[in-house]
Amino acid sequence: MKRYFEIFAALFLGTTMMFSCQQAEEPTMDQGTVPQTRAYGDTPVVAIYVETNDTNPLNAGDYMLSNGKPFAGIVELFASNIHKRTVNGVVEPTLFLTDKMTNLLENGGYQTYVKPLQDKGIKVLLTVLGDWQGIGVANMNDTQTTQFAKILAHAVEKYGLDGIGFDDEYANYSSTNSTSYSEIITKLHALMPADKLITVFDWGYTNTLNSEAKACIDYAYHGYFGSSFMTSGRM
């Protein structure tokens, strides 16, 4: 049976959490000699997406530079999913965590899987991804963007994370609008402490992001290659 964890916003209370999870399988960590790599310098920042369904995120902290600093500057926990629920005929966005992600973040997971990376100077973010639900970052209305921004800000605070990463894939949109993505980012930025990060993988409807939203993005990862990327004007 698929185990899951959902977070949703209640209209009458702002943000409310709903849990439905079971005991999850403990991820395994490779043991052995910590690999050393050549010095990479302070920039660019190396970001690692960790597929949490089958990889322990602590592995990303094993790679150290010769100067004693971690190779990765950012670890993106990949991924949570955008789901929805209907309450009295009104569609509300929810945040879905798989059983493996639930295990990483709930029931002391922060101390086991997140804090050890942070103690090495690595920022740990939660990636948000579509999930064939017909809802995503590019098709929410104003009320829904407010709800979803509150959900994400609450998740960052609750789980001790360093921010949120957006990846606009697999939403299965029937329609989109030009304001949703920007509103989610700007509202989330306003709700989180100044030291929290927002990242965006350049895929999907990033072309709808306005200048205010772009100013709130700390790092963007391009998903396009070749000469056309350099002249596309995306991000």
- Continuous H helices in the chain: 99-105, 109, 115-119, 142-159, 180-191, 211-214, 227-230
Cis peptide bond N-terminal to 116, omega within 30: no
C-alpha triplet 109, 52, 203: angle, nearest 5°: 125
DSSP state of 70: B
Rounded-to-integer distance, Cα 53 and Cα 179, Å: 32
The active-site residue, picked from 51, 169, 183, 212, is 169
Question: Residue 8 carries which side chain, given as an amino acid letter?
Answer: F
**Is 26 among the residues known to form the active site?**
no
Which of the residues are catalytic? 169
